[in-house]
């Protein structure tokens, strides 16, 4: 076998064995899980709900459905930009329409919103 054919076969074998890196989006990380509010801080207030019955929400990726324990049902949009990801909730009875997504991990999410010039930070977990 000629050296060129031999190197070509080796190159094809190695290139076909490489796996593509799966890039998980913010929506992939947030959707299809129930997120429970563990802590809320804003201004001088700090509320801790860890392990207690509390507010929760779920995003359904296939239908873009938002539902929470306050009975609010609507749709959502996640916008990803460098250094600024947002969660927009569209429901007629929703007081807070947009959250800044500060951190997303497998079982923890940190969201922020601004109301009356006070920034509120919400810490959620999947309680796993």
Mean pLDDT of the chain: 88
22-125: what CATH class? Answer: mainly beta
List, for residues 36-61, the tens digit of each pLDDT value: 999 999 989 999 998 889 999 999 99
Q: Does position 3 have pLDDT exceeding 70, yes or no?
A: no
Q: Does position 8 have pLDDT exceeding 70, yes or no?
A: no
126: left (phi over 0), alpha (psi -120 to 50) or beta: alpha
| Domain definitions of the chain by residue range | 22-125
Q: In whole angstroms, give the CA distance from residue 37 to residue 79.
A: 22
Instruction: Output 88 or 94, whichever has higher pLDDT.
Output: 88
What per-residue confidence (pLDDT) applies to 18? Answer: 59
What per-residue confidence (pLDDT) applies to 5? Answer: 60
pTM of the predicted structure, to 2 decimals: 0.79
Q: In whole angstroms, give the CA distance from residue 65 to residue 93.
A: 15
List, for residues 94-106, the tens digit of each pLDDT value: 777 799 999 999 9
What per-residue confidence (pLDDT) applies to 16? Answer: 54
- Nearest CA-CA partner of 24 in 89, 80, 63: 80
pLDDT band at 22; cut points 50, 70, 90: confident
pLDDT band at 1; cut points 50, 70, 90: low
What per-residue confidence (pLDDT) applies to 128? Answer: 81
């Amino acid at each position: 076998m000629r050296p060129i054919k031999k190197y070509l076969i080796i190159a094809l074998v190695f290139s076909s064995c490489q796996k593509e890196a799966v890039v998980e989006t913010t929506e992939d990380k947030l959707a299809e899980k129930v997120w429970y509010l563990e802590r809320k801080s804003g201004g001088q207030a700090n509320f801790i709900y860890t392990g207690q019955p509390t507010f929760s929400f779920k995003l359904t990726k296939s239908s873009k459905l938002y539902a929470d324990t306050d009975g609010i049902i609507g749709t959502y949009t996640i916008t990803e930009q460098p250094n600024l990801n947002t969660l927009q909730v569209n429901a007629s009875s929703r007081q807070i329409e947009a959250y800044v997504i500060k951190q997303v991990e497998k079982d923890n999410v940190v969201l922020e919103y601004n109301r009356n010039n006070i920034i509120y930070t919400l810490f959620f977990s999947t309680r796993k």
